[in-house]
Amino acid sequence: MTGKLFFPLVGLLAAATLSAQPASGGYPIDPVPFTSVKVAPDSFWGQRLKASREVTIPLAFSKCESEGRYENFVKAEKQMHSPVNLGYEVKGFSFDDTDVYKTIEGASYVLQTYPDKKLEAYIDSVLTIVAAAQEPDGYLYTARTMNPEHPHEWAGDKRWVNDEELSHELYNLGHMVEGAVAHWQATGKRNFLDIAIRYADCVVREVGARPGQARVIPGHQIAEMALAKLYLATGEKKYLDEAKFFLDERGKTGHNDPYNQSHVPVLEQDEAVGHAVRAAYMYAGMADVAALTGDQGYIDAIDRIWENIVSKKLYITGGIGATNNGEAFGENYQLPNMSAYCETCAAIGNVYVNYRMFLLHGDAKYYDVLERTLYNGLISGVSLEGNGFFYPNPLESIGQHQRQAWFGCACCPSNICRFIPSVPGYVYAVKDNALYVNLFMPNTMTQKVAGKDVTLTQKTGYPYGGDIEITVDKTALKKEMALKVRIPGWVRGEAVPSDLYTFADDVKTGYKVTVNGVPVESALEQGYFTITRKWKKGDQVVVHFDMEPRVVKAHAEVKADEGRIAVQKGPVVYCAEWPDNPGFSVRGTIVNQKPTFRVRHSDDLYGLDKIVTPAQTFSYGADGRVAVRDVELTLIPYYAWCHRGRGEMTVWLPQTVQATTVPTGR
């Protein structure tokens, strides 16, 4: 963060501070915020947080400078104070402002764990520019303000008129609010939050069902979930009401298009359709409204949609979105591999949905889906070094895919920039005297349970090892606390919480739990192992998950996976890639009907585990005949593919001759 913008602007804004704690009394289960969890640096997620802090976020900020994102705010401010039109040409996309908001959001999460005065001052300098571009009534959309007479071609001739199509004014609000709340929580400063509140108040005044208001819905959803978050942060119910208005009005404004889920009112929807990112953001907003209002119609609708996704439209990697035609969901069971879109933003949206479904219902099955997405189809979107990105995340390639340093439409890099640092906020949750342990990673957490501070430390080699130690470091709680440890579906023999994918081998996995060295038993409740006792300092829970490579098959209706298997170990899905298998085509192999596996730790690609299995490869000989030979097929975690150049890759491995491909060469 040493760009030219930093030095002139440092210190120009002295922000007011207050205790940055969200309003309570929202969800049936309370999130434990990212501010309460410190992830160990020498761990799976510690490495990713480091890459985000040292590489991805500085890269994103540098792109905001070099690609003119900051310049847009400067131009908007200059135009506002000019008596004549300055004639600025509005370039790029109508949502370019969000790259700034998303990058600040990611940097804010990082600041909580790694305080950095220089980074904090840089953010303040950027926010000075952002604040200066805000119109007097709170409206903030540089694509119009920098040239009101000739705004962005997607913007329309006045506010809001084109939001249901392409203006993205409300989408910009959504990302602004998401970033502002994170910044406030991390730093205690109100400078970004006040900007977002002013814009949100402008929207509440101008968009709605009252006479004189613009009766429109967001063309690209995210404002719904963001306004719910702003309600929780401020306690102002008008923001939740506006979020519900946006959802209630969908399908009723005359704009009826499955592409952005406005084909019918949301309470009548029962299938995931259209643009997968828009859909996931809307479903997250629906889950917010369901959880925060208790509206049974919303609860029923989001339950139906979730069931459709998980039973018919979810990839084994946790990705969603089958086709590049509209970046959209396909038909039921339409899950192609080579042409799978599985946009990184959609994977992030899938995490948002399942997280909120857990906060609503308290069932571990939602975290089973969240974890599958997190370890596979989401982190595949960014390289291990933090500087190479995927927009789509296909499950098969012949070498036409490669990671990019950035994209002109930068939604995926900037989204991964904000998401990875937020992961600590997904580990725990609280309800009354119960503390949920949902994800497994080395960390220390301090959180109030039943009004009293509890500090835990978690140690584990997860996701490659199945042993977790949870130690009570400190507790002020005098009464019993229920520690609820998620037992993942993959341990219990359930690939996903539906029949879309099933384990197809004879491997039996289980788990063991001890408290202070003594084995304990508990009937699972909604997928959780519950230990209720009066805890004291030094108490230790040790959880062991059997973690073996497993064979997964898809539902018979998924024609793309017919005659094929996938391999999974713990929560991690594996793939075969060309660098590990020299001399033959990974797409031209066939694995055994009863495959065996050998796990081999590797020091390359940041010390991941590889899996080796016997296979046979097919190729044409010089005489034109098909030649068959025995090989060892090496698999790596799917998230790590395409770090060593272009080439073949496949997740679904042929197990029948009909499913394989006989290549003519590499």
d(C-alpha 390, C-alpha 380), whole Å: 7
Per-residue pLDDT averaged across 21-33, rounded? 75
In this structure, what token pair is assigned to residue 111?
């600041």
pLDDT the model gives residue 573: 98
Q: What is the pLDDT of residues 1-13, one digit of tens each?
A: 333 333 233 322 2
In angstroms, rounded to a whole number, what is the distance separating the alpha carbons of residues 454 and 536? 10
The confidence score (pLDDT) of residue 621 equals: 80
Q: Give the up-direction half-sphere exposure of residue 555: CA atoms within 13 A in the CB hemisphere.
A: 19
327 tagged catalytic = yes
For the ranges 361-375, 396-410, 601-615, the maximum mean pLDDT occurs at 361-375
Whole-Å CA distances, 506 to 451, 493, 509: 47, 10, 10
Give residue-wise pLDDT tens across range 249-284. 999 999 999 999 999 999 999 999 999 999 999 999
> Which of 164, 327, 396, 577 is an active site residue?
327
DSSP letter assigned to residue 328: B
Query: 10 Å Cβ neighbour count for 510?
Result: 11
Q: Using an 8 Å Cβ cutoff, are 322 and 335 in contact?
A: yes
Tokens of 185: 């929580």
Angstrom distance (rounded) from CA 622 to CA 21: 71
Find the catalytic residue in 202, 345, 411, 575. 411
Cα 652–chain centre separation: 23
Q: Write out pLDDT tens, residues 353-375.
A: 999 999 999 999 999 999 999 99
Q: State residue 405's pLDDT score.
A: 80
pLDDT for 607? 81
Share of the chain above pLDDT 70, in %: 95
Q: Tell me the pLDDT of the chain averaged across its residues.
A: 93
Contacts of 52 (CB under 8 A, 6+ apart): 106, 110, 386, 417, 420, 421
Return the SS3 of 308: helix
- Residue 425: the pLDDT is 97
411 a catalytic residue: yes
